[in-house]
Amino acid sequence: METNSLIWFRKGLRIHDNPALDLARRGCKHLYPVFVLDPHYLDPDRNAFLPGSVRSGLNRIQFLLESLRDLDTSLRRLGSRLLLLRGEPVPVVCRLLKDWKIGKLCFEFDTEPYGLARDKQVKDFASDCGIDVHSPVSHTLFNPSDIIEKNGGQPPLTYQSFIALAGCPVDPCGTTYSELPPIGETGDYELLSVPKIEDLGYGDISQEELSPFHGGETEALKRLDQVLEDKAWVTNFEKPKGDPSAFLTPATTVLSPYLKFGCLSSRYFYKRLQDIYTSVGKHTKPPVSLVGQLLWRDFFYTVAFGTPNFDRMKGNKICKQIPWSENEELLVAWRDGQTGYPWIDAIMIQLKKWGWIHHLARHCVACFLTRGDMFIHWEKGRDVFERLLIDSDWAINNGNWLWLSCSSFFYQYYRIYSPISFGKKYDPSGNYIRHFLPVLKDFPKEYIYEPWTAPLSVQKKANCIIGKDYPRPVVDHEIASKECKKKMGEALASSSSKKQQNHNDSNEIASLKSKRRKKAK
């Protein structure tokens, strides 16, 4: 018997490899493709340090709107369209299920705490109404629950153990559509067109420099084809390599924002890579290959899904408890690109303007904020990245900050990125710095990474006086890095000692219980 189906888009903003869409259209009389504009995600936050909402900066909001516009265009080609509503997602969707007489609800499985709580409310309501609910896994290569079950109920905490458990992902859904079932009656609901940023109350943003990377499935597939066209680059790709100062043509795929919003299927990406590996033969392997990067993504998703309080230090059993400093002045200097270290500041300005920076650039600024120079809590840096990155992904963002602060996964705290020499080896002339920090553009290359060392005559000639036109370093790297190493060493030693004590206490309690049982017998 044919029924009315509702496909609820959140991530998964695509037509290709979309099992939820495929399930929704089968045996369907009317298909309602829905996206709900959440005011918490979109409404302006006047107290934020940069324009945006409570949860996102303008670049990611713009990327989302572009992705929705593209999805609507694709649906219209198939005789359908995107039904856009505004409000709190849970009550809006629950009302639609009743008013549109929906018999089948389909949406992509979401692993994030916010999504899980939201989806449970809708699932419970739908089940009480006798509505069939389908929530297939397609945002990741694997179902995190399956990996955790294989590991005895605990998430694997190393990449190697994850790989050993994961196996091969299922192939992407190869279904293509010439048309979709028609939309039924929608009643008196106000159905919106995809808004522009200005429509959301942000005013005139024409002078803002927004990200050069644009959202949507069409753009994602185009970029994927461009990346995979160079088979030699694909087969020789190694994650630790690549130039973080390359900005006109980034030295990586820049596919992460498309994966984040589900404009690109990770399973489809994986399959295309495997096809190239098979045709070429010799290629790099995980963890450094491109396939290895997709597996890293799933690794973090799995650990995040199976670890309570993954996004914080307190109450997170896999996170080292480190007594981070609180220094709002240093945090703001880092956040605003005003540390006095041009390499660090240029990265933060690129992040602010473009919503994207190379992964090695992310490593540098994260290390500088936490264990390298400032010893400020990784959660503070995570919040800035969460706001500014167009590819900000809850599991991966938190996982990387845990890693780079040596709070989990990686503990070689003495390996620190130099805010001077690291960038210089990629870009000795400082072209990256000159672009994103034009105040320094006329400095000779021998001073561009350390402008405070330039004689006053050089500073005057460059029309930039250090301490006036550009700040002096807020910390002395040589001194600060040594102090940070000392604090990290003490903190990790203390953490290990407490863990051993807890282990001993547990053994002692178990021993006492055993003796009592024997005595009772």
Torsion angles phi and psi, residue 83, rounded to 5: -95, 105
- SS3 string, 292-306, reads HHHHHHHHHHHHHHH
Question: Given a cut of 70, is residue 497 above it in pLDDT?
Answer: no
Band of residue 310 on the pLDDT scale cut at 50, 70, 90 = very high
Torsion angles phi and psi, residue 299, rounded to 5: -60, -50
Question: Given a cut of 70, is residue 150 above it in pLDDT?
Answer: yes
Is 499 or 472 the better-scoring residue by pLDDT? 472
Tokens matching residue 416:
């620190």
Per-residue pLDDT tens for 134-149? 999 999 999 999 999 9
Lowest mean pLDDT among 44-58, 125-139, 392-406, 497-511: 497-511
Contact indicator for 36, 87 with CB cutoff of 8 Å: yes
- Smallest Cα–Cα separation from 400: which of 196, 161, 473, 392? 392
What is residue 503's predicted lDDT score, i.e. its pLDDT? 47
Q: How far is CA 354 from CA 31, 107, 434, in A?
A: 37, 31, 16
Contact indicator for 85, 34 with CB cutoff of 8 Å: yes
Band of residue 513 on the pLDDT scale cut at 50, 70, 90 = low
Question: Given a cut of 50, is residue 505 above it in pLDDT?
Answer: no
- Smallest Cα–Cα separation from 371: which of 323, 332, 329? 323
Average pLDDT, integer, range 278-294: 96
Look up residue 187 and give its DSSP letter: T
- Smallest Cα–Cα separation from 348: which of 336, 359, 358? 336
Per-residue pLDDT tens for 98-116? 999 999 999 999 999 999 9
Region at 97 (left for phi over 0; alpha for psi -120 to 50; beta for the rest): alpha
Cα–Cα distance for residue pair 247/245, rounded to 1 Å: 6
Share of the chain above pLDDT 90, in %: 89
Question: Given a cut of 90, is residue 512 above it in pLDDT?
Answer: no
Across the chain, mean pLDDT equals: 94
Cβ atoms < 10 Å from Cβ of 453: 10
Burial level of 323, CB count in 10 A (0-12/13-18/19+)? exposed
Q: Tell me the torsion sign for CA atoms 411, 414, 419, 420.
A: negative
Per-residue pLDDT tens for 66-97? 999 999 999 999 999 999 999 999 999 999 99
Cα–Cα distance for residue pair 329/320, rounded to 1 Å: 25
Contact indicator for 395, 112 with CB cutoff of 8 Å: yes
Torsion angles phi and psi, residue 369, rounded to 5: -70, -35
**Residues annotated in a binding site for FAD:** 252-256, 293-300, 391-393
The strand order across the sheet containing 3-9 reads 83-86, 28-37, 3-9, 104-106, 132-134
Average pLDDT, integer, range 461-471: 98
Per-residue pLDDT tens for 330-352? 999 999 999 999 999 999 999 99
Contact indicator for 108, 12 with CB cutoff of 8 Å: yes
What is residue 207's predicted lDDT score, i.e. its pLDDT? 74
Band of residue 204 on the pLDDT scale cut at 50, 70, 90 = confident
Cα–Cα distance for residue pair 367/481, rounded to 1 Å: 10
Average pLDDT, integer, range 119-126: 98
Number of H helices, E strands in the chain: 21, 5
Cα–Cα distance for residue pair 419/335, rounded to 1 Å: 15
List beta partners, residue 376: 325
Cα–Cα distance for residue pair 514/521, rounded to 1 Å: 11
Tokens 């295309």, residue located: 272
What is residue 442's predicted lDDT score, i.e. its pLDDT? 98
Per-residue pLDDT tens for 236-262? 999 888 999 999 999 999 999 999 999
Burial 135-156 (b: 16+ CB within 10 A, else e): bbbbbbbbbbeebbeebeeebb
Query: Within its chain, how far is the Cα of 494 from the centroid?
Result: 31
Question: Given a cut of 70, is residue 498 above it in pLDDT?
Answer: no
What is residue 241's predicted lDDT score, i.e. its pLDDT? 86
pTM of the predicted model, to two decimals?
Answer: 0.94
**Residues annotated in a binding site:** 252-256, 293-300, 391-393
Could you write out the DSSP letters of every residue in 369-437? IIIITT-B-HHHHHHHHHHH-TT--HHHHHHHHHHHTTSSS---TT----TTHHHHHH-TT-HHHHHH-
